[in-house]
Structure 1
Amino acid sequence: MTVPAVPAAPAVSTTGVVSTARSTARSSGRLLAAGALAGPVFAASAVIQMFTRTGFDIARHPISQLSTGGLGWIQITTFVLAGLGALALAAGIGRTLREGYGRRVLPVCVGIFGVGLIAAGLFPMDPENGFPVGTPDRPVAEMSWHGVAHSASAAIAFTALAVAAIVLTVRCVRRHAVLPAVLNGAAALVLVLPMAPDHMSIQIAVNGLVAFTWTTVVAMSLRRTR
């Protein structure tokens, strides 16, 4: 999932220009670092909650359902922080990729992913299937407006990230980077697979793992090749 680098331009001797370039590089590095942290932060928060929230079962309950109940604010905050990290990554990509295929589309798609995560946090899904404890052990009869908004936001976010992975696949192919092209293509394929109703919560967790692994690897790759 690494990003093929563009050869750096010759150094400029003018002191002011060099100072500005260094400042911009440091700022870009911080944005990419924030983007790299989004995935680990989301994963750590979700895993801890899976094992500590009474009644939660990943085989039956999607990660988003952690946003419900008295402790739901933890997952809501996690969504928002991860979304802000993705927005930082989008800005870092925009500053770092100045040439080549996808330089304009990639930051836009990653930015949409970030906005979608924030919206998915602010609009929580409905309690159902026995979680939180005390909820009837069945699917919700009718989704609330915020439940619909949550599902739409998540769908848009992951679709946008799949497009980003496809764009990066094409970029890698054009630069003859075979392994990164294969890895990006595989990530895109996982993200666009239709949801299986019987295993939806597991599939959502896998999609989240793939998505945040992708963002972390891309951010670290760009930081290394700057």
Structure 2
Amino acid sequence: MSFTWQLRAGVAAGVLVPVVLWIDGATRAGYSLWHHGASQLGTGDRGWLQTINFALGGTLLALFAAGLRRVLHPGLAARWAPILTATAAAGLLVAGFVPTDPALGYPPGEPEGLTATGGVHQVAGLALFAGLSAAALILARRAAETNRRNARLLKAGGILVIVFAFAAGIAYRLDTLGVWQPAPAGLLEHLSLLAGFGWVAVTAVWLLRRPSAVAAPGGIVSGRSG
């Protein structure tokens, strides 16, 4: 059975999620791409749009994880890259259906503070960012066996995901403390997601064109990508 449709799901997820986030954020009244977190687009006006975006993106990412499991030869990457990608997919799905709390003045006029729902959303976000980062780093180790350029790009993607996410958390804290207002917490979080879904899309394209771009020699389920 062909696994190309599962890899194409990775391309779709990698493009869909960040593009919808950036377009919605740029056109949403009262929302600032610089200031407000990506998850806050799941609240307020047009919040339903991001619920759909995260749910569809999570489903596509889960399919991509299944595709990775089929294309990689048994080993560390074959075992853990799909698991970590699926963890990210689960985090995105939960984040879509369990909205975050109002923060940094968005949605306007809504009371702010951490709730149980917001806590669940934060855990889901941690799974998303950690999964995307760790999966890229493990795939980078595998890619180094056949293509150092691909390995460097994957490693950069994995590092950028966690660095931008961590920086976003610091910026958010500085903003709430009044040290830096408005801090670029939103921009940094959007960049983290862009890096994460960027490596997903690029890796899916690599594997569709030439499976050995990431998988080790002899580690392909089929000698053909289709």
> 1:39 is matched with which residue?
14
- Quick check: 1:29 aligned with 2:4? yes
Could you tell me the TM-score, scaled by structure 1's length?
0.81
Deviations 1:118-170 (A, max 9, x none): 0111111112322223336xxx2x31111111111111121112111111121
Percent identity between the aligned chains? 30
Unaligned stretches of 5+ in structure 2?
172-182, 211-224
Question: Residues 164, 45 of structure 1: CA spacing in aligned structure 2 closer, same or farther, 3 A cutoff?
Answer: same
Q: What amino acid is aligned across from residue 199 of structure 2 in structure 1?
A: W
Equivalent of 1:83 in 58, 64, 68: 58
Asked whether the 8 Å contact 2:98–2:117 carries over to 1, the reply is yes
* Alignment partners' CA distance in 2, 1:172 and 1:32: 17
CA apart distance, 1:100: 5.1
Deviations 1:70-123 (A, max 9, x none): 421111111111100100100111111134541111111111110110011111
Which structure's CA Rg is the greater one? 1
* Alignment partners' CA distance in 1, 2:90 and 2:20: 19
* Alignment partners' CA distance in 2, 1:172 and 1:70: 43
Q: What amino acid is aligned across from residue 136 of structure 2 in structure 1?
A: A
Could you tell me the TM-score, scaled by structure 2's length?
0.81
- Quick check: 1:214 aligned with 2:189? no
- Quick check: 1:52 aligned with 2:22? no
> 2:115 is matched with which residue?
144
- Quick check: 1:223 aligned with 2:223? no
Unaligned stretches of 5+ in structure 1?
1-23
* Alignment partners' CA distance in 1, 2:114 and 2:127: 18
RMSD over equivalenced CA pairs, Å = 1.6
Matches within 5 A, 1:67-106: 67-99=42-74, 101-106=76-81
Deviation >6 Å, runs of 4+: none
Q: What amino acid is aligned across from residue 116 of structure 1 in structure 2?
A: G
* Alignment partners' CA distance in 2, 1:151 and 1:185: 25
